[in-house]
Structure 1
Amino acid sequence: MSAVGGTRRPVTVVVPLYDDLKGIQQCVESVLDHVDLDFDRIILSNDRGPRHEEVEALVLRLIKSHPEVTYLSNDVNLGFVGNCNRVVLEYDTTGNDVLLLNSDTIVTAGFLDEMAEVLALSPSHGVITARSNNATLASIPDRRRLPRQPRTIDHSARVHAAVVDLLPRYTIAPVAMGFCFLIRRDLIDRYGLFDEAFAPGYGEENDFCLRVNQRGYASVLANRALVFHTGSTSFSGDRGPRLRFGHEKLLIERYPFYVGALGYFYQRGRDPVDTFADAFDRGDDVIRLAIDLVQESTDAVLRDIEDFVHRLGRGVVVTLITPKEVLAQARELVPSALITAQSRVDSLYDVALALGPIYDLARLVRLNELAPRWILIDDGPARNSTWSQRVDYHRIEAVERIAQRFADRWIVIDDNEAAARAVIEVAEREIDPAHLRLRWTWLVDAGLASGILGYPLRPSRGRRLALWIGAKSPRASRFLRGVLNR
């Protein structure tokens, strides 16, 4: 256990308990291992679930040799919101800052010291959350090279170790995640805790964060603190999805800017190293290459790409990202590559390759989000020798210069073998965080200034409709959301 310094206040760790015996045991054991009971306090509150007596027997056994730990048992089930409010507002009179910790978490060494010290760094820091394998915007990695592969504890621990020294100590976010939620006590004293409108659970922590943010307090990710979250659920059947959809609908009715705030965070608030964290430690020997295809691609171009993919060899997995007009053509002529529509990209890649020339800024903005490394292949810069040509093509020249400035490799060749060697060489380079940050910031700013990117002040009608339907029928909402996201 790390020694507690004098830079932070004591914390009351509140663990609401319900029904997950395995998760409760892992959580309580890890908290007992990593919380200094000479300085901080632990309260375990049993919310009388279906196995109330079994939970009680387990917890009392675990804390038998720790008389400093407080165990509470509710007379009736209060739900997550009611359970937390009861402990924090009625029972805990210490004046400590409060950490609400889900019982399906596993904490790690030094997590509480780091979170509490980040809270103490600024009087405007209101709520702190740790990084995790399963915590939406606090997840590390967030975007993945294999998006359908779950973020296991081992995967997240490895990626976190690879980037933790490159990240800022903390990141300001729109909200903090409720699985591990450290709150400045004087905010609770002034503004209360969770709104019962979000009972029994889901969305209450986001409401709290946005409520105190309107009074000048920030939600913060403590990037050096790591807490694993297994994500077990307390709501069976359709009840959980209905609550999520219904409470998200309530949330965006109260804070219509929330959707835009999330977009702002992902593009402007988060360090690009965080965005591409999964590429900093690949965890395998495979190179994942994205080839960005333009709409005017001919059969000859696609056959040339098929030849290029073969020359790369089995150690490179290629995804061809195409406009929807070219999907069928690409699937027929480039069978060796995965084919994805530009509107459906949900993963990141080790290298992005663009076949030039690149004429429009929107394409650069899209490339910016695909991979931390770029290769551009074209016929060379535009040769505009007359003033009429220069005037006519000045925008194209400007985009080309931007592309060349930020490319990790710019190749003027018509040789697939040489291009394949360039992909391997660039993929094996270490990512340069300074170059990545400069590229990311410059292109996001350019996208915003040009109107390519933007953040809505209110959610779309389609999103509101999907949430309304979801609150009534989660199955229908899943289908509708899939349609809306295409």
Structure 2
Amino acid sequence: MTRSTLVVVPVYGDLDSLLRCVDGLVEHLDTDRHRALFVNDCGPDADTIEAALLARIGDRAGFRYERNDHNLGFVGTCNRAVTELDTGAETEAVLLLNSDAVPTAGFLDAMLAVLDEDRTGVVTARSDNATIASIPYRLTNRGAARTEERTRAVWSEVAPLLPESQVMPVAMGFCFLTRRELITEYGLFDEAFAPGYGEENDYCLRIAAHGWLAKIANRALVLHAGGKSFSGNRTALRAAHQRELERRYPFLPDAVAAYQRHGTTATERFADVLVPAGPAPRLAVDLRHVADAARLARQIDTVFGDGFALEARLPAGTPAPDGWTVTTDDPDPDDLVTVQVLVDPTPADLVEANRRAAHWVVVRTEPTTVPWSSPQHRAGADRVAALARPFADEVTPDELESAREGVENSLLAPLDGTSTFLERRWATFLPLDLAAAAASASSSSGEVTRLRRELNDLRASRSFRTGQAIAKVASRLPGRR
């Protein structure tokens, strides 16, 4: 089924972005099946924007222009457009599109295909600026910006390797497609979130209570400038509306964190590595527990120093080769590197590396099979070695040259093969990752419960009550303030 769609574009400011949005719709919206409605929300340049917009769309079939009597904000404008200005008699779906969003070829067909999937209530698109819908989302170059050009390049290579859709906790409001019948049954945006921010999350979670899913259409790309179609104190609004969302849906932060942890695919997680650009690929190694860290660092530098940006965690007082980046902090697992050298890795090392590095090199300084008298064997070191072996070049320190060759071959391998490899590794280690996360959450929860119980016991104790009474009397003594 292909649903006829009403595309609603609330208009407030930033004429340049608006005209790019209009041009994108003119080029890519099939007006034989779909219609576009632009609603001027009376911003400071309302008349200028009106004249330019009308000149751009002219009498083009399928394009309509309306103007609010006064400023309603994003929420009010969307609600008016969908429930008052358009009765819905001719359209079966509604796409709310920010005026600073730029559609690309095939975007709506891809989104509608996902909307037609069973129990799908809301669909969003991939973008360059849409938080967890951005591609690439995680970056190997920490100082880099996500540009339109970079997103187009990565998306065009990676999108065919991704599933057509994925379930998300909530959809992104910049490009928000939903079924008309759901608006009829449950309403659109809650005015509690006026003038904007958080309203799309509330809608997703309201309909989720009735069994409807929010999804991302991986084959749809809509670029987004971000923040240019909205005025006012964004930071304060976001904070206030986020508090209201968490009051209504206390599970939301954990749901978003869970999606980021295990709801994405390995291919999209490592998209920035799979389609390389810019500076030398990063190689990370942790040498803090190595007996002769300085010697191994020199060996790694000799083999990988040319062509890779090397970074390490080193034991205190250990000199690093020239050009290395040295850190004492634990790595952020969302700070991606191209290669990680794992020295005698533990299970925890492999779980961390699965999230952080696209390619592994395992360096063995000890035999992989050791007697039961060894602490390493009792900790499962040989089992860890077997688990990692299909996904890494395993070498001794003196065999690092062959590992360099293996890494270079991996970097030159066809993208679809690398994607398949990463998905297989991701599936292998994800159960360990989830178990570790669950254990950590349980431990944290238990610790919080214990501390709260101890605090309550303290407050109920006679000594605490006595201390409070003494403090009150003391505060009334002469000379006390």
TM-score by length of 1: 0.84
Write out aligned runs for 1:22-421 (5 A): 22-95=16-89, 96=91, 97-122=93-118, 124-235=119-230, 239-284=233-278, 286-291=280-285, 293=286, 295-297=288-290, 300-320=292-312, 322=313, 329=317, 332-340=319-327, 341-344=329-332, 346-355=334-343, 357-359=344-346, 361-379=347-365, 381-385=367-371, 393=378, 395-407=380-392, 409-421=393-405
- Spell out, residue by residue over 1:165-202, the C-alpha distance to the aligned partner (whole angstroms, 9 max, x if none): 11111111111111100011111111111111111111
**Distance in 1, Cα, partners of 2:270 & 2:99:** 30
**Distance in 1, Cα, partners of 2:300 & 2:356:** 20
**Distance in 2, Cα, partners of 1:273 & 1:11:** 31
In structure 2, give the amino acid aligned to 1:411.
V
In structure 1, give the amino acid aligned to 2:354.
N
Q: 1:53 to 1:132 in 2, by over 3 A?
A: same
Q: 1:230 to 1:297 in 2, by over 3 A?
A: same
Q: Is the 8 A contact 1:290 1:370 kept in 2?
A: no
The answer for unaligned runs of 5 or more in structure 1 is: 1-6, 462-486
Once the 2 structures are TM-superposed, how far is the Cα of residue 391 of structure 1 from its aligned partner?
10
Q: Is the 8 A contact 2:126 2:218 kept in 1?
A: yes
Q: Is the 8 A contact 2:283 2:308 kept in 1?
A: yes
Q: 1:392 to 1:282 in 2, by over 3 A?
A: closer
- Spell out, residue by residue over 1:99-141, the C-alpha distance to the aligned partner (whole angstroms, 9 max, x if none): 000000111111111111211122x000001111111111111
Q: Is the 8 A contact 1:19 1:50 kept in 2?
A: yes
**Distance in 2, Cα, partners of 1:144 & 1:125:** 30
Once the 2 structures are TM-superposed, how far is the Cα of residue 412 of structure 1 from its aligned partner?
2.6
SS in 2 for 1:383: coil
In structure 2, give the amino acid aligned to 1:368.
N
Give the aligned length.
441
Once the 2 structures are TM-superposed, how far is the Cα of residue 362 of structure 1 from its aligned partner?
1.6
Once the 2 structures are TM-superposed, how far is the Cα of residue 295 of structure 1 from its aligned partner?
4.0
Q: Is the 8 A contact 1:358 1:403 kept in 2?
A: no
Q: 1:444 to 1:453 in 2, by over 3 A?
A: farther
Q: Is the 8 A contact 1:288 1:350 kept in 2?
A: yes
Q: 1:392 to 1:272 in 2, by over 3 A?
A: closer
Q: Percentage identity across aligned positions? A: 38
RMSD: 2.6
Q: Is the 8 A contact 2:123 2:177 kept in 1?
A: yes
**Distance in 2, Cα, partners of 1:454 & 1:118:** 35
Once the 2 structures are TM-superposed, how far is the Cα of residue 378 of structure 1 from its aligned partner?
0.8
TM-score by length of 2: 0.85
SS in 1 for 2:258: helix
In structure 2, give the amino acid aligned to 1:401.
A
Which segment is superposed worse, 241-250 or 7-16? Answer: 241-250
**Distance in 2, Cα, partners of 1:433 & 1:68:** 41
Q: 1:198 to 1:339 in 2, by over 3 A?
A: farther
- Spell out, residue by residue over 1:406-431, the C-alpha distance to the aligned partner (whole angstroms, 9 max, x if none): 32x11134355455444434433345
- Spell out, residue by residue over 1:335-360, the C-alpha distance to the aligned partner (whole angstroms, 9 max, x if none): 522234224454312222111x123x
Q: 1:336 to 1:199 in 2, by over 3 A?
A: same
- Which of 376, 397, 412 pairs up with 1:428? 412
Q: 1:453 to 1:319 in 2, by over 3 A?
A: farther
**Distance in 2, Cα, partners of 1:63 & 1:285:** 43
Q: Is the 8 A contact 2:110 2:219 kept in 1?
A: yes
